[in-house]
Amino acid sequence: MSQFAESRSLFSDLDDVAVVPPIPKGRTPSYMRDHRKRLRERFMTGGATAVPDYELLELVLFRAIPRQDVKPLAHTLIDTFGDFNRVLSAPESQLKKIPGVGDSVALELKVVEAAAHRLARAKIMQRHIVSSWDALLDYCHTTMAHRDTEQFRILFLDTKNVLIADEEQAKGTLDHVPVYPREVVKRALELNAASLILVHNHPSGDPTPSDADIQMTQQIAAAASALSIQVHDHLIIGKSCELSFRAEGLFKNP
């Protein structure tokens, strides 16, 4: 089996892309090779700031679709979801509604998303949370800001305020996520955590807390305090900003 034939068997999306005429078997046309070469060189020389979102997306799509013009698909994805970050974080089911997006394209996008999450997470794990606060906010925005449903995460800290665990406690709907204070405190005890930071996202993009958010935070703080565990803060992540309960004076530990 030729190398190209192997590539076709691995990437089932080659025939999915209907936005441009299929290229006959054989060598990739020179204009396409030249475009890809120039784009790669520009990226390697100038970094991410040297290319707009759709071209950065092209670079990702090159691997999944090696022999077709991916520029139309990149533009379609950006136009549909809004920007590069939202394309990566879009649910697989939504991505596959786009003509030209099959298993290999969806996989490539999700691999890049997972890599971004792990890179951001590595910058905060086992670090003192105060000195890593900006990195913590970056991580929260990377993992949660573009989700289309609510997610509730807990950051567990030791007695020196070093982050020892980051866990997803619950998933919810567009505007609600079920959280049980007893389960939060139980997990903190299992990890021997001394304090917590609560984090959840608002898919609407507006981080303003609801009455239910405030009530839930107070309930968790009270349950934790009864076992000498402190809740440092509750962060609500919006599309481009976040809200800190502590900064806003919305709760105090009992």
For residue 112, give both structure tokens. Answer: 């890049």
- Give the confidence band of 95 by pLDDT, cuts at 50, 70, 90: very high
Phi/psi for 177 (5° steps) reads: -140, 125
Residue type, 50: A
Phi and psi based region of residue 33 (left: phi greater than 0; alpha: psi -120 to 50; beta: remaining): alpha
Average pLDDT of 141-155? 88
Q: Is the pLDDT of residue 11 over 50?
A: no
Q: Is the pLDDT of residue 181 over 50?
A: yes
Average pLDDT of 227-244? 93
Q: Among 82, 95, 94, which residue's Cα sits nearest to residue 145?
A: 82
pLDDT digits (tens, 9 = 90+) for 193-209: 999 999 999 988 899 99
Query: Is the CB of residue 185 less than 8 Å from the CB of residue 205?
Result: no
Round to whole Å and give the CA distance between 99 and 170.
33
Neighbouring CB atoms inside 10 A of 147's CB total: 16
- Give the confidence band of 2 by pLDDT, cuts at 50, 70, 90: very low
What is residue 16's predicted lDDT score, i.e. its pLDDT? 46
pLDDT digits (tens, 9 = 90+) for 67-91: 889 999 999 999 999 889 889 988 8
Q: Half-sphere exposure (CA, 13 Å, Cβ side) for 197?
A: 24
- Give the confidence band of 137 by pLDDT, cuts at 50, 70, 90: very high
Query: Is the CB of residue 89 less than 8 Å from the CB of residue 112?
Result: no
Round to whole Å and give the CA distance between 246 and 252.
7
Query: Is the CB of residue 15 less than 8 Å from the CB of residue 67?
Result: no
Neighbouring CB atoms inside 10 A of 68's CB total: 23
Handedness of CA 224, 228, 229, 233 (dihedral sign): positive
> What pTM does this model have?
0.69
For residue 8, give both structure tokens. Answer: 């076709």
Query: Is the CB of residue 188 less than 8 Å from the CB of residue 230?
Result: no
Which is higher by pLDDT, 113 or 19?
A: 113
What is residue 1's predicted lDDT score, i.e. its pLDDT? 43
